[in-house]
Every structure is written in C-alpha cells, then in structure tokens.
C-alpha cells in the first residue's frame, strides 16, 4: 500500500484521532483576563516546524490586516439543565436540547433507563410551586426523551424564559468547578452572546475580550456575527470507527445576507475570512451551494460534516481551542492542516503544558497553514 493511500485510510478511522492527555492540563476555569490565555500560532503548510508557542490571544490583533473579516458565533448558552423528580421521587437531570413541536422538547435524561413513555415528572421549584412534565416519546438517534412541557413553552423564546427561572448553566462534564455555577454563568458566555439557544458555548469566542474586539476594530478589521446554536451535533461522541459515512445531529444556523455580501466583498479585494471557532466554520461553509458554485444566506438546521478531504471555500483562517480526542472538532481542524501535523502540534502543546478544552488555551491557524488540497475558490 502506498503512503498516500495509507494516510487516506487512517484519516477515515476514528482511532487515528486519539491522543493521551494528562488530566492536569484540562482547564477548569478560564484565565483571569480572557486575552491572556496562551496561543499557538500555526504557519506555513510546507514546514511542519512552522509554528510559535510564545504568544497570547491578545496577539491575534497582530496577525490580522485592515480589511480582513472576522466572523463570530453570537449564540448564547441557555440554562438548559433542570432537575426534576419521578413519580416515586427519583431525582433526574434533564438537558433541554431542542424544540420538536407544540410544547414537546428533546431532552437528554440522566438516569434515563426508567423513563418510559407516559411517565410523569415534577419540577418542584418550591413548597408552593410544582410543574408537571410528561415523557411522550424516545429519540432513537440521541437516546434522549421527548418531554411535554406546559402548553405555553412552545418556542425558543418561551423556553429560554422558563430556563432562566428554573435552569442551571450546562457545563461540560470535564469541568470540575461546577459548584460555582453562578460564576460560570458569566465565564461560560462570549462577550457578544445575544441569541439564546445553545447548550454549550462556542468556546473559541471566550478568548475575545472587549480589548481585543476594540483593537481589531481600530485596526480596520471587520467583525460580523452568525448564529449556530451549539447542540448535540457538536459535543456528541463519535461512536463509529469508520468515518466515511459519519453523520452529525442537526443544529440551527442563521447567516444573513449582510454577512454573505461582506464575505464576497472581502474576498474580492484579496483579504481574509477568519472564523472564531469551529461552529463559525461549519455555519459559513454550509452556505456554499455546489450546484450554483456560490454562497447564499442560511436560516435552517444543518448537519455538515467537515473532515479530511473537505474543500474550504469560505474560511481562510481559524481561531480555535485544543479539542477532545476522537471528536468531530478534531476532524474539522485536521481537514485544514492535516491529521498528522495537528496531532504533532498537540504533542508539542502537551509538552509545553498548554491548557486544553473549553476553558483552555487557543490555537490560531493562519491562512498559509491550510493544506493546498483543502482549498477551493468560490
């Protein structure tokens, strides 16, 4: 088997995206000042050793030029965790994922085994207030439950209002500082979060402090927002070794006409489109229509899979975090710079004690770091 064929086969195997991480490198809180997290900068694709380790995320300002366009994800994390009791008093945690119809919502439940259809659940807010919910179905894809809420909880807006009163912020399981939830209600949101609907933060955006944003604008870098409500599709563990037919759970995306127009204008003058986070990448790349060979506004659910072999038509660079092994996010970044190079960079980050995952340090993938075969013009 020749080397290229072997690498392609490895690219399509989940085990090829594994790496070992000392748990001490998992960040449980962000840096005190957002822009003082460390940042690895990945440069020239023709040299595996073209990178730097001595920068802070504040230095992202130095990497961009007047006329470049930064695209951020303005989704806001809902307080999507609620605790209810079964009819026999068992405490059950629900994570509200998405609206189904009427006042029925898809929720992950823990424990879920005994939550059969027609079982009643009770949200006991106080001695004087108890809200009845009901299990009305099982979702085969997620293993979650379809839960009937009160009739007036029939939209994202009404659910968010409900969760603001009764819910808690849903932190990833690897963050052990979950006792300080009130603190995380601010820390686990980007500075520009405004559209409630996510159950996890677009964590690359946590690095962007008000100071970074103001300096970018002063430099002449444009900043526009899209919305991708981070949901089950982003954090669901991949459960198939063969990645050729990988599918992701759908997530809602909104990219408006203003963003599409600015992308085209930016590319026309030879400037760069820099995505803040993998969710921004997926939202932007989902706007490309292969039949018409152009990009268009998007306002719908998407399930775009980005893995090695993908052709990027919109995004030129990426600010991202260090991701979990065997995750769809690791596949996406591998599609940009190559799996072997990415895993070698992760080894260097581990050796240099970079902080990993949601509250961890950053990696900036510059436009010239992209594999040539990963690019395709609009």
pLDDT value, residue 1: 45
Helix (H, G, I), strand (E, B) or coil at 168: strand
Instruction: Report yes or no on 184 lying in a domain.
Output: no
Instruction: Report yes or no on 131 lying in a domain.
Output: yes
Boundaries of domain holding 150: 81-167
pLDDT value, residue 8: 63
Instruction: Report yes or no on 50 lying in a domain.
Output: yes
Q: Is the pLDDT reported for residue 92 higher than 70?
A: yes
Instruction: Say how far residue 202 (Cα) sits from the centre of its chain.
Output: 4
The last residue of one of the domains, among 167, 202, 229, is: 167
Going from the C-alpha of 281 to that of each of 137, 204, 291, 310, 361, the distances in angstroms are 33, 12, 20, 12, 19
Contact in structure between 78 and 167 (CB atoms under 8 Å): yes
Quickly state the pLDDT bin for 176 (edges 50, 70, 90).
confident
- Comparing 41 with 177, the larger pLDDT belongs to 41
What average pLDDT does the segment 94-111 reach? 96
CA–CA distance, 327 with 239 (Å, rounded to integer): 10
Q: Is the pLDDT reported for residue 212 higher than 70?
A: yes
DSSP 212-271: HHHHHHHHT-EEEEEEE---HHHHSPP--SB-TT-----EEEEE-HHHHHHHHHHHHTT-
pLDDT value, residue 2: 53
Are 369 and 256 in the same domain?
Answer: yes
Are 147 and 283 in the same domain?
Answer: no
Contact in structure between 350 and 21 (CB atoms under 8 Å): yes
Are 144 and 218 in the same domain?
Answer: no
Cβ neighbors of 87 (< 8 A, separation 6 or more) are: 119, 120, 122
Q: Is the pLDDT reported for residue 5 higher than 60?
A: no
Instruction: Report yes or no on 193 lying in a domain.
Output: yes
Mean of the per-residue pLDDT values of the chain: 94
Quickly state the pLDDT bin for 239 (edges 50, 70, 90).
confident
> Which residues lie across from 122 on neighbouring strands?
85, 132
What average pLDDT does the segment 58-66 reach? 97
The last residue of one of the domains, among 106, 134, 167, is: 167
Residue from 279, 355, 349 nearest 36 by CA: 355
Instruction: Report yes or no on 172 lying in a domain.
Output: no
Are 268 and 248 in the same domain?
Answer: yes
Are 58 and 97 in the same domain?
Answer: no
Virtual torsion, Cα 100, 202, 355, 339, nearest 10 deg: 80
pLDDT value, residue 241: 94
Instruction: Report yes or no on 220 lying in a domain.
Output: yes
Instruction: Give a three-class secondary structure readout of 7-28.
Output: HHHHHCEHHHHCCCCCHHHECC
**pTM for the full predicted model:** 0.94
Are 211 and 93 in the same domain?
Answer: no
Cβ neighbors of 21 (< 8 A, separation 6 or more) are: 325, 350, 356
Instruction: Report yes or no on 273 lying in a domain.
Output: yes
Read off the CATH number of the domain in which 121 is found.
2.40.10.240
Instruction: Say how far residue 215 (Cα) sits from the centre of its chain.
Output: 25
Are 69 and 128 in the same domain?
Answer: no
Q: Is the pLDDT reported for residue 178 higher than 80?
A: no
Are 224 and 322 in the same domain?
Answer: yes
Are 69 and 90 in the same domain?
Answer: no
What pLDDT, in 10s, does the model give residues 133-157? 999 999 999 999 999 999 999 999 9
Instruction: Report yes or no on 350 lying in a domain.
Output: yes
Q: Is the pLDDT reported for residue 232 higher than 90?
A: no
Strands 129-138 and 145-148: antiparallel
Q: Is the pLDDT reported for residue 57 higher than 60?
A: yes
Read off the CATH number of the domain in which 224 is found.
3.40.1780.10
Contact in structure between 289 and 295 (CB atoms under 8 Å): yes
Are 52 and 94 in the same domain?
Answer: no
What pLDDT, in 10s, does the model give residues 260-276? 999 999 999 999 999 99
pLDDT value, residue 146: 98
Structurally, the chain folds into a number of domains equal to 2
Long-range CB pairs of 147-153, under 8 A, 24+ apart, other chains included = 147/94, 147/104, 147/105, 147/106, 147/107, 147/121, 148/103, 148/104, 149/103, 149/104, 149/105, 150/103, 151/102, 151/103, 152/103, 153/103, 153/105
Cβ neighbors of 171 (< 8 A, separation 6 or more) are: 177, 178, 181, 184, 188
Q: Is 247 exposed, middle or buried (0-12, 13-18, 19+ CB in 10 A)?
A: exposed
Are 120 and 38 in the same domain?
Answer: no
* Choice among 16-25, 38-47, 330-339 with the minimum mean pLDDT: 38-47
Helix (H, G, I), strand (E, B) or coil at 335: helix
Are 54 and 85 in the same domain?
Answer: no
């Amino acid at each position: 088997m020749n080397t290229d064929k072997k690498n392609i086969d490895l690219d399509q195997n989940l085990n090829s995206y594994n790496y070992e991480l000392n748990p001490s490198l998992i960040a449980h809180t962000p840096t005190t000042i957002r822009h003082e997290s460390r940042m690895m900068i990945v440069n020239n694709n023709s040299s595996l050793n073209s990178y730097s380790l001595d920068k802070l995320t504040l230095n992202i300002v130095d990497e961009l030029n007047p006329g470049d366009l930064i695209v951020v994800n303005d989704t806001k994390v809902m307080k999507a965790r609620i605790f209810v009791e079964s009819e026999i008093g068992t405490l059950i945690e629900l994570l509200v994922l998405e609206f189904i119809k009427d006042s029925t919502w898809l929720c992950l439940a823990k424990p879920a085994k005994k939550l059969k259809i027609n079982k009643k659940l009770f949200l006991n807010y106080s001695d004087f207030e108890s809200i009845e919910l009901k299990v009305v179905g099982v979702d085969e894809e997620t293993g979650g439950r379809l839960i009937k809420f009160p009739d007036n909880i029939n939209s994202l807006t009404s659910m968010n209002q409900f969760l603001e009163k009764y819910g808690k912020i849903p932190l990833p399981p690897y963050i052990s500082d979950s006792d300080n939830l009130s603190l995380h209600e601010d820390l686990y949101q980007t500075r520009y979060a405004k559209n409630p609907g996510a159950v996890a933060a677009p964590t690359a955006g946590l690095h962007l402090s008000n100071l970074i944003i103001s300096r970018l604008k002063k430099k002449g870098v444009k900043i526009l927002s899209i919305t991708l409500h981070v949901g089950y599709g982003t954090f669901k563990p991949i459960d198939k070794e063969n990645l050729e037919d990988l599918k992701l759970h759908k997530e809602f995306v909104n990219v408006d006409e203003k963003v599409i127009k600015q992308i085209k204008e930016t590319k026309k003058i030879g400037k760069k489109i820099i995505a803040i986070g993998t969710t921004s990448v997926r939202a932007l790349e989902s706007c490309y229509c292969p039949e018409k060979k152009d990009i268009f506004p998007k306002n719908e659910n998407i399930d775009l899979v980005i893995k090695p072999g993908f052709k990027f038509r919109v995004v030129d660079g990426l600010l991202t975090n260090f991701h979990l092994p065997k995750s769809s996010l690791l596949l996406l970044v591998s599609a940009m710079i190559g799996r072997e190079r990415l895993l070698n960079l992760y080894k260097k980050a581990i050796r240099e004690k970079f902080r990993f995952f949601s509250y961890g340090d950053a990696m900036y993938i510059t436009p010239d770091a992209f594999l040539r075969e990963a690019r395709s013009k609009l």
